[in-house]
Structure 1
Amino acid sequence: MNSKKKWSEAFIALGSNLEKPIQQIQEAFEELAHIPETQLIKQSSLYQSAPIGRLNQPDFVNAVVRIKTHLTPHELFDELMAIEQIHGRVRESLNAPRTLDLDLLLYDILTFQDKQLIIPHPRMFQRAFVLVPLQEIAPDCFIPGHGSISQLVAACFDQKIQSISLEN
């Protein structure tokens, strides 16, 4: 039996709009870097975006990370849910405010769907708050079934998103 496992590449979106969102995202970067059998390769800048769907809530802080991992998509998903729980994530309704949201966007070039997980993430190609930070760290990214990152970002031209400066 071959003891060498293949590395898979994955991208994870991070979002928060409760309880010091910038701090939530920065702590999540650290926690993602410590997932077993996983290496954090690159993290995007932080971005601010308006909520979608449920508008009567604070703006979000968003980012995307690129990792390589020996974990399966479901094992990685379980690790992401555990990190959300550490941050007190409560899933009360769709588009509700949250302390931390971690979405598995892409895993290699896999297209997959079951009751727990859909890859690529089903709404990522419509959301500037995912696409802009993804484009920052993976400018040549291709979303299976949807196209190049540059085409998808261009299609979201009407969604407001801005980079957050942490210098003060």
Structure 2
Amino acid sequence: MKESISNVYIGLGSNLDEPTKQLKVALSTLAKLPATELISHSSFYSSKPVGPQDQPDFVNAVAQLKTTLSPEALLQQLQTIERNQGRIKKRHWGERTIDLDILMFGNQTINTPELTVPHKEISNRDFVLKPMLELEPTLALPNGTSLLSLLQSCPDNQLHLCSGP
């Protein structure tokens, strides 16, 4: 049986320890994952934090992967990358060296205790929607909702392009 190849979008975010560098390291590591190919990544964007405002601004990007890994296996790989880059969860929506989220996994809808796909906050995150649309302007959720329509009603996180990834 031929393994199924899924088109996957990963959200990357950092606001500690040279955030741009943290995103570059994570992208480099994503490119080396087993049974996975890094297809592309968006520009880097700066945004105000969601949640506690007493933390630095974030640098965000989205990576597009093709993988034969299962969603659960990919999640484990992402959590390993986060640990290896020194992520320690201090508080909900708090500062972090790196955050890697599965935003979309093919056309799948997943709702388990460990993983929700599409990402449950996708419609509230311009720093996710704009980079995803940069990669694929006609992208839609599995239910058919276009990301462009979500972006038009999304809260403003004062998003702006960073100077080069």
Which band: TM-score by shorter chain?
Answer: over 0.9
Distance 1:73 1:51 in 2: 27
Determine if contact 1:125/1:146 at 8 Å carries over to the other structure.
no
Determine if contact 2:75/2:102 at 8 Å carries over to the other structure.
yes
Cross-structure match for 1:77: 75
Cross-structure match for 1:30: 28
Distance 1:159 1:116 in 2: 27
Which secondary structure state, in structure 2, belongs to the residue aligned with residue 147 of structure 1?
A: coil
Distance 2:103 2:136 in 1: 13
TM-score, reference length from structure 2: 0.96
CA deviations 1:68-116 (Å, max 9, x no partner) are: 0010000000000000001100112211100000000000111111110
Unpaired segments ≥5 residues, structure 2: none
Distance 1:140 1:23 in 2: 30
Q: CA deviation at 1:120?
A: 0.6
Cross-structure match for 2:15: 17
TM-score, reference length from structure 1: 0.94
Unpaired segments ≥5 residues, structure 1: none
Q: What code does the residue aligned with 2:127 have? A: F
Distance 1:89 1:153 in 2: 29
**Out of 91, 94, 112, which is 2:92 matched to?**
94
| Correspondences of 1:73-152 after superposition (within 5 Å) | 73-145=71-143, 147-152=145-150
Change (3 A) 1:146 1:58: farther
Distance 2:23 2:131 in 1: 13
Count of paired positions: 165
The share of aligned pairs that are identical, in percent, is 39
Cross-structure match for 2:161: 163
